[in-house]
Structure 1
Amino acid sequence: MCICASNIVSCSKVNLTGVPNDLPNYTSVLDLSFNNISGLRAQWTKHKLPNLHNLLLSHNRLNFLSSEAFVFVKQLRYLDLSSNLLRQLDEFIFEPLIHLEVLLLYNNHISQIDRTAFSGLNSLQKLYLSQNLVSRFPSELIKDKSRPERMRLLDLSSNRIKVLPIADLQALSAWVKDGMYFHNNTLICDCELYSLMAHWYIRRLNSAVDFKDDHTCVHPSPEKRVLRVYDLNTHMNCSTFKETDEEFYLDQTIILRCDTRHRDMSKTWMLPGNIILTPGNNQSYNVDKDGSLKITSIKPEESGVYTCFAVSEYLNETLYVVVKVHNFTINGNNDSLNTAYTTLVGCLASVVLVLIYLYLTPCRCFCCPDQGKSKNLHEDSIHSSMLSATPTHEDMATKAELNRHVAFIDPKDLQGQNGKVNPNGEEEVDEEAMQGKGKRKKSVADSISSVFSDTPIVV
C-alpha cells in the first residue's frame, strides 16, 4: 500500500488506522499524512529508525501521544503533527528529540501546554502553534534560560491569548522578534501593547508588517469592542511611540547593540564624525563577536550618532544609535545633593551658635564670692573688655574675679603706624588709678585713630 522511493516511504492517503509495522531501518522520510491514525503509542515501530529525520502525520485523527512515542526516532529534525485532534501537550513529551528543528502543531484543539512540554528541544528553530485554543502564552519559549538558542520563529496566531509577556518580548533580539507571530488573538488593549507593536512596525519586522491589519485587541470596556492595535493612540490616548536616545554617564562602560533582523550578518560600526571603526583604531572601542560595540570610560565628547552597517548574502541593514553622555558620574546627582544638604546644615548650625553666643550667655551664680558688688561693675567688666573700643577704669581685682585678663597695647609701640602719641612725650597718670589701684598710663583718646590700637585683647 505504501510507495518506497529509495529511503523515502510514502503511505499518504491510503486510509491507514495505524502505522505499518515493518518499516525498513534505512527510512529517512516517512509520510503518513491524510489517514485515520488516532494515536501514536510507544511501540508504533518495532525497532529503532536511526536515519529517520522527517515524520509527516498531518491530517489524521490523532488525539493521543504516548510519553515514549519518540524514543526510537531521536534523530528527527522535522515533525508534522498539524491538522489533528490533539488537545494537550503533556510534560516532557518531546524531550527525546534533541535534534528537532521544525515542529508543526497548527490546526489542532490544543488548550493546555505543560511548561515542560518543549524541554530538551535545544535545536528547535521553528514552532507552529497557530489555530488552536491556547490561552496562556508559553513564556518559557522566549526566556533566556529556557529558550532554545536557535529558535527564530514562533507562531501563536489565531488562539485565545489575552495577555502577552511584554517585558520578555522587548528583551528579545530583533532576529527573534522578526518571526514572533501572535495576531488574531483576544488580547486586551492597553498602551504597552501599542508601544510594543509600534516599535516593531517602525523596525519593519515581518511579524508586524505582514499582518498589520490582523493585529487586533479587545477594549476593556463593557462593550468589548475589537480595535486595531495600531489605532490605540487615538482610541485610548496612548502616547505616540518614539525611539528614545541612549543616555549614559561620565566614565561608564557601555555596550551598543547592532540589533539586526537576521542573526548571522557582517557588522561594521561608524563613530560620530563619520569615522569608520577598524580593529586597533582606538583602544576605547571594541567590537564583540555578536557585533555589539563596547565603549570603555565614555566621555561627553563621544556623544552623537553611532551607525551600524550589517551585510548578509540576502539583506543589507543600517541601524542608528543616538548616544547622549551626561557630564557627571552615575552617582553625581546624589553627591551634589549631599554636598548641598551638608552646606545647609552647616549654615543653620552656625546661625544657632551665633544666637546662643549673643543671647544665651551663661548667668553668674549668686553663690559666687563678692556677689554683693553692684550690677554695673560686673557689666562694665564684661562688656567693656569685649565690646568697647575704649578701656574702662575699674578695679583690676574685679576683672580677676571674672577670670578674664585684659592687656592694652602701649601707644609707644604703635608710633608711626596707626596712631600718634603725645607730642610732649609725657605720661599722664589716671587719677582714679592713683587712688589705691596702682599707677596706669592714660592713653590720649584723640591720639589713636585706629580701633586696633586701643582695642583690649582678651587672653
Structure 2
Amino acid sequence: MKSVPGGRSEILGALLLVVGLRLASGCPSSCICASDLLSCTRADLTEVPDHLPPTSVTLDFSHNSLHLLHRNWLSRVPHLNVLSLHHNQIKWLPVGAFHNATNLRHLDLSSNKLQSIRGGHFHHLLSLEELLLYNNYITRVEEATFTRLGNIRKIYLSWNNLSTFSFSSMHNLTHPNLRTLDLSSNKFSELPVDEMSTLPAFIKNGLYLHNNPLTCSCTIFTLFIQWKQRGFSSILDFSREHTCLYMGKPRAVVRILESRNGLDNCSTGLIGQELADTGLKVLVGRRLLVTCNTSLPQENTTYLWISPAYDFIFPPGTSNQSFRIYPNGSLEILRAQPWNSGVYLCIAVNKRLSYNATHEVNVTVHYPKHEVESFNTGLTTLLGCVVSLVLVFIYLYMTPCRCFYCCSKPLQTPSPPQESSAQSSILCGTPPVCEGPNTRKVGASRHVVFLEPIKEGRAERNPKILQLRTDSDCSIFSDCPIVQT
C-alpha cells in the first residue's frame, strides 16, 4: 500500500480549518454547532461557556454538571427560542438569569435540584410558551411567579415537593392561552376547592392532580366526579391514578373515581350540584369579573352574553360602559347594582371547529351585612325555664275549679271527729257554690288534698268509704259530689 505524499499535512490543515471556523463563529470546544443550533449535551461541563454563537436559536446544555447560571449570560444570543438545561445540578436561579431572553419560547429546567421558584425568575420571558420544571425538589412557588407569562401554554411542575399552590393567580385574564398545568406526583394533602372552582374550564381541562397523597373528603370526591361528568381530560386520562388516603393513612388508598370505599358518608346529592363557579357574590358598587367557562380555545371563538333581563351584550360591551366583554369571553360588571342580580348566560361559538358551548353563572349583588349581637344561649335557656315554671304554677293554683256541694243523701251513721280526713271529701282552691236547703258553704281557706290509695279490707269496714263507692263514677278532676261528714 502506497502512502499518499503530503497526507499528514492535508489532515492537519483540515483540522486547523475546522478550529479556525469554530473560533470565528464562536463555537465552544466539545460542542457541536450546526447553523443556528448549539449542542453541548454530555460534554462534562461544570459551567456555561463564556462565548456563545450570536446566531444561535437553540441551545442544548443537557446532561452535564452545571451548578449555577450567571446573570445576563444570554445577552449575546438575542434570537434564542429554545433553551434546554435538563439533567444538571442547578440548585438555585439568580434573578437575572433570563433577563435578555425576551424571545425564548421553550425553557427546560427539569431533572435538576431546584428547591424554590421566586417571583422574578421568569418575569422577562414575555414570549415563553412552555416551561418544564418537573423532577426537581421544589417546595414553594411564589404567587407572582407566572403573572407576566401572558403567552404561556404549558407548565410542568410534576414530581416535586409542592404541598400548596396559588390557583387564584392562574386566572384566564393573566393566562388566556394556558392549557396544561401539571401538578401531579407532589405532596398535596388538601386542595383549595374554592379557588380551583373559579378557574376557567379550559384550565381545569388540563389541570393534572393525580398521584398526590390527598386526604379523602366529600369536597374532593364531589370535585373530581363533576370534572369527570364534564369530560375533562385531566380526569379521564388518569382516572385510576386519582386516589386519596382514607383518614390520612398511607396504606388506606382509595380510587376516587372507581370506588366509594371510605366515602360512604358523602351525600350523593352533592354529585349533581355545581361548585362555587356557578354562583358569585359581590357587594353593591364593587367590580365583578365573570368568566365564561367553556372548553373552547380562544382562537377563532366569539362570545356573547345574555343578562338576567334577557338583554344581549355584544363585545366590547354596553354603550353606558356598565358591562364589558374581554377577548377571552370574560364579562366585567363595573359597578354592580341590585338589579344586576340573576343568571347570566355565556354563548361561545367557534366557527373553525363548527362547535359552540354555553355556560351559566348566577350572580348575587348584596349590601354589606351589619354584625348583630347574638343572644346568649345560656341566658335564653334559663329564661325559658323560668317562664315554663311560672306557667305551671299558674295552671296548678290559679285555674278555677267548679266543685258542687250536694247534700241530697245524708250519711246514715255520723262519723267520729277523728275520722274527718282527706279521704272523705274533695276540697277546691276556690269556694264552691252549692244550692239546696241542706247545704252550707265550705271555707275558702282549705287546700287541695290528693286521695291516697285505700286498701280493700279497710273500705269494707268504713261506712264513709262505702258511701263514696256507691256514688256514680267520679274523678278528682271533674265535677264530683262532695260528701260532708
Q: TM-score w.r.t. structure 2 length?
A: 0.54
Cα pair 1:142 1:168 within 8 Å, conserved: no
Is 2:230 aligned against 1:203? yes
- Deviation of residue 38 (structure 1)? 2.0
Aligned partners of 2:124 and 2:331: how far apart in 1? 39
**Which one of 220, 227, 242 corresponds to residue 272 of structure 2?**
242
Give the AA of the match of 2:162: V
Aligned to 2:296: 262
Q: Which runs of 5+ in 1 are unaligned?
A: 249-253, 272-276, 324-328, 332-459
Q: Which runs of 5+ in 2 are unaligned?
A: 1-29, 281-287, 368-485
Aligned to 2:61: 32
Structure 2 matches for 1:122-271, cutoff 5 A? 122-139=150-167, 141-142=169-170, 147-220=174-247, 225-230=252-257, 235-236=262-263, 237-240=265-268, 241-243=271-273, 259-264=293-298, 265-266=301-302
CA spacing shift, 1:134–1:71, aligned 2, 3 Å = same
Aligned to 1:345: none
CA spacing shift, 1:244–1:114, aligned 2, 3 Å = closer
CA spacing shift, 1:17–1:102, aligned 2, 3 Å = same
After superposing on structure 2, the runs of 4+ consecutive aligned residues of structure 1 that deviate more than 4 Å are 221-224, 231-234, 243-248, 254-258, 266-271, 286-294, 305-309, 317-323
CA spacing shift, 1:258–1:9, aligned 2, 3 Å = same
Aligned to 1:15: 44
Aligned to 2:109: 81
SS at match of 1:230: coil
Aligned to 1:400: none
Aligned to 1:56: 84
Aligned partners of 1:207 and 1:194: how far apart in 2? 15
Aligned to 1:351: none
- Deviation of residue 225 (structure 1)? 1.5
Structure 2 matches for 1:291-310, cutoff 5 A? 308=347, 310=349
Cα pair 1:306 1:322 within 8 Å, conserved: yes
Q: CA RMSD for the aligned pairs?
A: 4.5
Aligned partners of 1:297 and 1:67: how far apart in 2? 47
CA spacing shift, 1:224–1:137, aligned 2, 3 Å = farther
- Deviation of residue 114 (structure 1)? 3.5
CA spacing shift, 1:16–1:312, aligned 2, 3 Å = farther
Cα pair 2:108 2:131 within 8 Å, conserved: yes
Is 2:120 aligned against 1:92? yes
Aligned partners of 1:118 and 1:291: how far apart in 2? 21
Q: Deviations over 1:57-93 (max 9, x none)?
A: 1112222322222223333221100111222224522
Cα pair 1:85 1:109 within 8 Å, conserved: yes
Q: TM-score w.r.t. structure 1 length?
A: 0.57
SS at match of 1:235: coil
CA spacing shift, 1:315–1:243, aligned 2, 3 Å = farther
Q: Deviations over 1:152-206 (max 9, x none)?
A: 3211100001121111111111111111111111111111111211111111111
Q: Deviations over 1:329-380 (max 9, x none)?
A: 999xxxxxxxxxxxxxxxxxxxxxxxxxxxxxxxxxxxxxxxxxxxxxxxxx
Aligned partners of 1:306 and 1:78: how far apart in 2? 37
Aligned partners of 2:313 and 2:100: how far apart in 1? 52
Structure 2 matches for 1:332-347, cutoff 5 A? none
CA spacing shift, 1:312–1:10, aligned 2, 3 Å = farther
Q: Deviations over 1:375-414 (max 9, x none)?
A: xxxxxxxxxxxxxxxxxxxxxxxxxxxxxxxxxxxxxxxx
- Aligned-pair identity in percent equals 33
Cα pair 1:260 1:310 within 8 Å, conserved: no
Cα pair 1:93 1:118 within 8 Å, conserved: no
CA spacing shift, 1:312–1:261, aligned 2, 3 Å = farther
